[in-house]
Structure 1
Amino acid sequence: MALVVGVLLLCACLLLGWLAIRRVRLMRGGGVDLCLRRRFAVTDWHFGVGRYRGDQFAWYRLTSFRVGASVTIDRTEVEIVDRREPLASESFAIPYAAAVLRCRSHGEDIEFAMSRDVLTGFLSWLEAAPPGRSTGYRQAS
């Protein structure tokens, strides 16, 4: 019995170590902290790390063992549908968010909750493009 408990504790420690190392690597590579939700219920927010990769923004869920990105959006296909302050009922789910952006990409709505610094970087990334190329960035009115 003690052997089984020891093996389970070792596995749990290895998994937690993997998640910690993964987060550190993502943040050192230019990652930013932000929350995401696809289903629009108050409890469906997920913490994660976003990274800019050229014309793509990749979001990695913090508690996922997946090697690749959980969500990827293309700068040329994204549209900002709405921008708002977090609701009081969301304060426990997204504690440090200053803004919530609802974006649409390929007909799917996604919400990002982020701090003001991350918001500034995200909007700058959306508006940026190499010379002679349009970003496709548009904001719904």
Structure 2
Amino acid sequence: MGGHLALDAGGVLAAVIVAAALVFVAMTVRRWLFVRGGGAVECSLRVLPAGAEPGPWRLGIGRYKGDVLHWHRVFGFRRRPRQVIHRRGLVVSNRRRPEPGEADGLLPDVSVIEVRDGDLTVELAMGASALTGFLAWLEAAPPGFPVDLHPPDQP
């Protein structure tokens, strides 16, 4: 009787380890598929609801596709983006360094920018090269695209 129980527990443990390994492999392949086409950067995002506390920071990958930035969570399985930020009418209203309490949940040496796309207001936390690429993408908008870049208060 005890031998069968040990065999059952060992089988369950092996199944859990295999399932965890498959999840890890699936997320690694998903990330590779996003990054391999180019135009992808690591950036964290949090939504700023009107009149409410900001949501939590989520680590993700931003991918430029023409006039939109698709943002995907790193730890997820969806192929569709969680947020879509349109270049047309985009307003970058603030740039700052992370506050001490929020810096723990972000990648090192990032800047935080506040972005408004219609009714959607989010903050993006990006490293220096990703931020330069984002601002270049905004400034490269075709003529007639209303893009509003407010000068940053802090570098």
TM above 0.5, yes or no, is: yes
Matched, 1:79 2:91: yes
Question: Paired residue for 1:35?
Answer: 44
Q: CA deviation at 1:77?
A: 2.9
In 1, the alpha carbon distance for the partners of 2:73 and 2:65 equals 16
Q: Is the 8 A contact 2:30 2:77 kept in 1?
A: no
In 1, the alpha carbon distance for the partners of 2:89 and 2:18 equals 44
Question: Paired residue for 1:100?
Answer: 112
What residue ranges of structure 2 are gaps of 5+ in the alignment? 1-7
Matched, 1:117 2:126: no
Q: CA deviation at 1:13?
A: 1.1
Q: What percentage of residue pairs aligned between the two structures are identical?
A: 32
How far does the alpha carbon of each residue in 1:15-35 deviate from its partner, in whole angstroms, 9 at most, with x for none? 111111111222222211111
In 2, the alpha carbon distance for the partners of 1:135 and 1:61 equals 28
Q: Within 5 Å, give how 1:1-141 maps onto structure 2.
A: 1=8, 2-30=10-38, 31-39=40-48, 40-41=53-54, 44-130=56-142, 133-140=143-150
The 3-state SS of whatever aligns with 2:105 is coil
TM-score (norm 1): 0.88
Letter in 1 for 2:149: Q
TM-score (norm 2): 0.80
How far does the alpha carbon of each residue in 1:43-74 deviate from its partner, in whole angstroms, 9 at most, with x for none? 81111111100001011100011111111111
Count of aligned pairs: 138
Q: Is the 8 A contact 1:128 1:135 kept in 2?
A: no
In 1, the alpha carbon distance for the partners of 2:92 and 2:141 equals 17
How far does the alpha carbon of each residue in 1:70-104 deviate from its partner, in whole angstroms, 9 at most, with x for none? 11111003211211111122221113243100111
In 1, the alpha carbon distance for the partners of 2:138 and 2:88 equals 8
Letter in 2 for 1:135: F
Letter in 2 for 1:27: V
Change in 2 beyond 3 A, CA 1:97/1:37:
farther
In 2, the alpha carbon distance for the partners of 1:96 and 1:135 equals 33
What residue ranges of structure 1 are gaps of 5+ in the alignment? none
Q: Is the 8 A contact 2:58 2:73 kept in 1?
A: yes
Question: Paired residue for 2:5?
Answer: none
